[in-house]
Chains A and B, each alone.
Chain A
Amino acid sequence: MPVIRFDNVSKVYPLPAGDVVALADVDLDIEEGEFILVMGPSGSGKSTLLNIMGSLDVPTSGEVTIAGRQISRMTDDELTLMRRDHIGFVFQQFNLIPLLSVVENVEYPLILKGKKSGARERVAEILQAVGITESHFTHKPGELSGGQQQRVAIARALANDPAFLLCDEPTGNLDTKTGTAIMDLIARMNREEGKTVVVVTHDPRMTEYADRTIQLVDGRVV
């Protein structure tokens, strides 16, 4: 039983100049604990695919099943709770909340879920696991390097112990060395924590981490 299943999924953006087909008839099965790489030229629909996987976006047609639930039957609130409780997102631009300190950023998903007691200990644990030292805990995101910010973002994605880690070009804004460290970290989460990981990337060297690579061209899996 795959944990993520795409069944004839299409995504079409109707624009005045004509419809843009971001995804066309995609069929896809992802098994629990897999490490999957999504590659393809710019504009081929990689981000769209990942967003739909993460219940952040809904397809124009076809059905997506995430952890046994059909997303076409879910309300906006249910999709949101799915993201909160089962999915960890990591973005190219890190996307930390500038108002919050490092600890608070990681704590935020826990608070959303209503956890109060022991939240700080768990946050400290995760931050240490992704390689952020305690001296940085009270810093604001703007005071960190790109690599550090991405580590905090990964820690935030892991806070609610999600089943899936979905990363959209997580190393795209980092130098090669830092990028490798981040990929090592993501791979470790897959190996040690058993997370199902999907990573969108342009970097062909990343294939060595993956169990499988999905190639997209013009919204189609090739």
Chain B
Amino acid sequence: MTFLDLARRNIGRHWLRSTLAVIGIVIGVIAIASMGILGNSIGLMFDDMITDVGDTVVVYPATGSGTTAFTERQVTDIERAAGANRVIPLASTFDTISVGEAKSAAMIYAIPAGDIQFLLDKEAGTYPRDTGSGCMIGSRLAANSKETGLKLGARVKIGDETLRVTGVLAERGMGFDINPDYALIVPYRWYSNHYDRDEYDMVIVKVRDVKDIESVREAIEGRMNRREEVVNVMDTKAVLESVFEAADSITIFLMGIGAISLIVAGVSILNVMMMSVTERIKEIGVLRSIGTRRSEVMRMFIYEALILGVVGAAIGGVLSFGTGYLMMAVLVGRPDYLYNIKSILYIVFGMTFGIITSAASGLYPAWKAAQLNPIQALRHE
């Protein structure tokens, strides 16, 4: 039997209100940890994107200018400006595709066959050849077309021409240039013949060294927009970085919400502890009269608050894992982000914050208890 034991027993004496106080801490810890994890995952997601597509400069026809598509000559100009970096011009359209009897509409990207491999990764099959009538399908499109039979080797009809699916693309996720996951990729030459068109809707420049991105962008703008605004150039790194900064503030903001809920929990512990002290004034008088020092009385009450905090933090920590996993799976679609060291740290941080809040909330009541005059406390009824 020690002061810790006494503290534990007193908590057991009022299990209902102790449970309520613990629930407060649990919620606070979960809020802080899962908000942190969520924010962190948003950061991770953008991080992944930067490495995936952060080396990309996208050139569009300038809005409001006379240019709506790029000619072969303009593409060559952009190529000159881009120097040694790979330039991939492409066109896109939206059309009805049919597989057997099933008809549906899909986004179609037309890319020079030789360039496809530099822009998109494949998961199965091969890239189509420039002269043949092969095409590729995006991973989500493949996954969603199980019933219609749109898969590797299948035949797709566009208009009155038939294409064979030679490859399936790897999933790419949201991008700033094109979104191939739900699309059909065809060689530009086939597109040009089929639709009788020889212009491009956009040009993607893959920059070898991410550090060059600024200069490539400036070179293209300088060359193309000399006389009038012909192109709009977007570099994904700049866009991602600003979003990335926003993600950081989102994390702090979300964790702030968590912190507020923990502070509310702290107030509830303070309340429970004040009740505990007030109810036990007489008992404190007895303890003091038989030789318990002030510091020992204080310790007893701090232990009480600490037990509530530690139990709450432990339960909260375990549940944070669950909530974190759910949130990652549902909101971000990447449950594996939870195993990121920073995500784990947020859980530890939430738990630590919970324990500290509880201890801090117990400090004042404990001090109050220790300062009681033993005789007045003994007279208390």
Tell me how far the C-beta of B253 lies from the nearest C-beta in chain A, rounded to whole angstroms.
45
Q: Closest CB-CB distance, B292 to chain A, in whole Å?
A: 6
- Across the interface, do B290 and A156 meet the contact criterion of CB distance under 8 Å? yes
- Distance, CA A136 to CA B288, complexed state (A): 26
B289 at the interface (CB under 8 A from A): yes
Cα(A128)–Cα(B56), bound, Å:
89
Which one of B13, B289, B292, B294 lies within 8 Å of A99 (CB-CB)? Answer: B13
Complex Cα distance A160/B374, Å?
A: 20
Residues on B with C-beta less than 8 A from A129 are: none
Q: Give the distance in Å from the alpha carbon of A77 to the alpha carbon of B296 in the complex.
A: 10
**Contact residue among B1, B287, B295 (Cβ-Cβ distance under 8 Å from A104):** B1
Q: Which of A102-154 contact B (CB under 8 A)?
A: 104, 107-109, 111-113
A98 within 8 A of B: yes
Instruction: Determine the distance from Cα of A109 to Cα of B288 in the docked complex, in whole angstroms.
Output: 11
With known contacts A95-B378, A98-B283, A83–B289 Cβ distance under 8 A? yes
Nearest-neighbour CB distance to chain B for A4, whole angstroms, equals 17
The interface residues of chain A, by DSSP majority, are classed as helix
Contact partner, B290, options A51, A57, A76, A108, Cβ 8 Å: A108
Bound CA–CA A68/B10 (angstroms): 39
Instruction: Output the residue of A81, A104, A111, A112 with the most chain B CB within 10 A.
Output: A112
CB-CB under 8 A from A109, the residues of chain B are 290-291
CB–CB A112/B378 < 8 A: no
Residues of B within 8 A of A99 (CB): 6, 9-10, 13, 283
Cβ of B143 < 8 Å from any Cβ of A? no
Could you tell me the distance in whole angstroms from the C-beta of B34 to the nearest C-beta in chain A?
37
Contact B292 A97 (CB under 8 A): no
Report yes or no: B291 in contact with A81, Cβ–Cβ below 8 A: yes
Chain B residues numbered 273-319 whose CB sits less than 8 Å from any CB in chain A? 282-283, 286-296
Q: Is the CB of B1 within 8 A of A108?
A: yes
A100 neighbours in B (Cβ, 8 Å): 1, 6, 9
A42 on the B face (CB < 8 A): no
Let me know if A89 is at the binding interface, CB within 8 A.
yes
Q: In the complex the two chains form, is B288's CB within 8 Å of A80's CB?
A: yes
Q: Are B13 and A85 touching (Cβ within 8 A)?
A: no
The answer to whether the Cβ of A56 comes within 8 Å of any Cβ in the partner chain is yes
Contact A51:B375 (CB < 8 A) given known A80-B292, A95-B286, A112-B296: yes
Chain B residues lying within 8 Å of A157, measured Cβ to Cβ, are: 290
Q: Across the interface, which residues of B come within 8 angstroms of A156, CB to CB?
A: 290
- Measured between C-beta atoms, what is the minimum distance from A187 to chain B in Å? 22
A95–chain B nearest beta-carbon distance, Å = 5
A84 part of interface (Cβ distance < 8 Å) = yes
State the CA gap A157–B374 with chains docked (Å).
17
**Bound form: Cα–Cα A51–B12 in Å:** 33
Interface residues of B, Cβ cutoff 8 Å to A: 1-2, 6, 9-10, 13, 282-283, 286-296, 374-375, 378
Contact sample, A vs B, 13 pairs, CB 8 Å cutoff: A56-B289, A76-B293, A80-B288, A80-B291, A81-B293, A83-B290, A89-B289, A89-B290, A95-B282, A95-B378, A98-B283, A113-B291, A156-B290
Q: A57-B375, A109-B290 are in contact. List 10 more A-B contacts (CB 8 A).
A: A76-B294, A80-B291, A80-B293, A83-B289, A89-B290, A97-B286, A104-B1, A112-B291, A112-B292, A157-B290
